Amino acid sequence: MRRFAGAGAGALAALVATGVMAGAGAAAAPSGGPIALSAGVGSNPTQKIVVAGAIGDWGTVHPVDRSGKPDQNGNFVKVLLKKGSFELDVTAVNKAMSNPRPQVQSDVTCSVAAVGSGAAKLFDGTGLYKGISGTVNVTITFTGVGGRYQSGAKKGQCSRGGEPLAMLGSVVGHGTVRFSG
């Protein structure tokens, strides 16, 4: 272990940095292939995203409706990256998450953890991602704590609607993209 943390680790870090830096300046059109993406989930509709593989880029995601207008409950996501943008049709993912089977749930603490998966289709690329198509299998994992009703017939019971008191989650996807034209 000590040997790896010494000179060998420095040389490995230099090789990785050189490879990353060499690729960072090049803006060649992607040729397609496998991708992996990671994004956040939270109460703020705008989240960060990183995409690796055939697309090496980062930026933000924004929920939109079919016509591209902001819609926190939309079935589409606008992905705004440094070198262009594209959209994801996440209808199947939203369907899986509309009534997920909790992995952990407690009415004592008003907390829940759930996972859902579905396929998301990529389309409507701009910039470096013009002509994008493909499918990414997306898994959403989240854990949250909700509030309690403060009055009325349900006073003291866990509130099933509205904003959670706290929520943290992630979106992870793997798939393949193609570029036409």
Band the pLDDT of 41: cuts 50, 70, 90: confident
The owner of tokens 């803006």 is 27
Please report, in angstroms and rounded to a whole number, the separation of the first and last CA atoms in the chain: 50
76 versus 156: the higher-pLDDT residue is 76
Residues facing 154 on adjacent strands: none
pLDDT at 160: 78
pLDDT digits (tens, 9 = 90+) for 131-142: 999 999 999 999
Averaged pLDDT of the chain: 84
pLDDT at 63: 93
Q: Is the pLDDT of residue 2 over 60?
A: no
For the ranges 4-13, 15-24, 53-62, 126-135, the lowest mean pLDDT is seen at 4-13
Q: Is the pLDDT of residue 16 over 60?
A: no
DSSP string for residues in the chain: -HHIIIIIHHHHHHHHHHHHHHHHH--PPP--EEEEEEEEESSSS-EEEEEEES--EEEEEEEE-TTS-B-TT-SEEEEEETTEEEEEE-HHHHHHHHS--EEEEETTTTEEEEEEEEEEEEEEEEETTTTEEEEEEEEEEEEEE--B--SSTTTTSBP-SS--SEEEEEEEEEEEEEE--
Band the pLDDT of 27: cuts 50, 70, 90: low
Q: Is the pLDDT of residue 1 over 70?
A: no
